[in-house]
Amino acid sequence: YLKCIENRSKATKVFCNACVSFDYTEKFVEIVYSNLMSTPAGLESDIPDSKKNANAGLRFLNPGHVNFSFGAVARTLNSILIESDAPRLIDLLSLDVEGAEIEVLKGLDHNQFRFNFICMECRNEEKTISYMNEIGYELVCKISHFDLLFRNTNVNTN
């Protein structure tokens, strides 16, 4: 977050939040820190053990680094897009939140905001593809072992 603030123009809106579903009722989300493998705890997730996942990330950190937990203020992606004055149709959403991608999308009014494309990490392809089809997105291709690209079926994306 601090690096984003330092490296973006003052006109850019940067938020320090954990995105959650509309059903999430807590003020904070526990995040188990492990740099790029930091993992949310207590959210709907494809990662059953957030601490184990974060511990697996230790091998990528400098010696002496340890995992720790902190609380991130919970907000829906919808509320952030509204505060940002985002357009109703956005070209691309890239979503990689260590297993909680569907949780994030459940915090979005898909009638209010749409994306031409969504690139997202997933560990459970069947569940992810089924959910994305329900909300009006079809699988375009598998980009990598964990990354899928979806296209909005509700608009002309040409």
Q: Is 136 left (phi over 0), alpha (psi -120 to 50) or beta?
A: left
Residue 2 has pLDDT above 90, yes or no: no
Look up the domain containing 6 and give its range: 2-73
Last residue of a domain, one of 73, 95, 115: 73
Specify if 39 maps to a domain. yes
Domain assignment present for residue 106? The answer is yes
Mind listing the pLDDT tens digit for each residue in 78-123?
999 999 999 999 999 999 988 899 999 999 999 999 999 999 999 8
Token output for 95 = 């979503």
Could you report the per-residue pLDDT of 114-148, keeping only the tens digit for each? Answer: 999 999 999 899 999 999 999 999 999 999 999 99
Same domain, 98 and 65: no
User: What's the total number of domains in the chain?
Assistant: 2
Domain endpoint, select from 50, 73, 96: 73
* CA separation for the pair 42, 48 (Å, rounded): 10
Same-domain status, 46 and 96: no
Q: Which residue has the tokens 């954990």?
A: 18
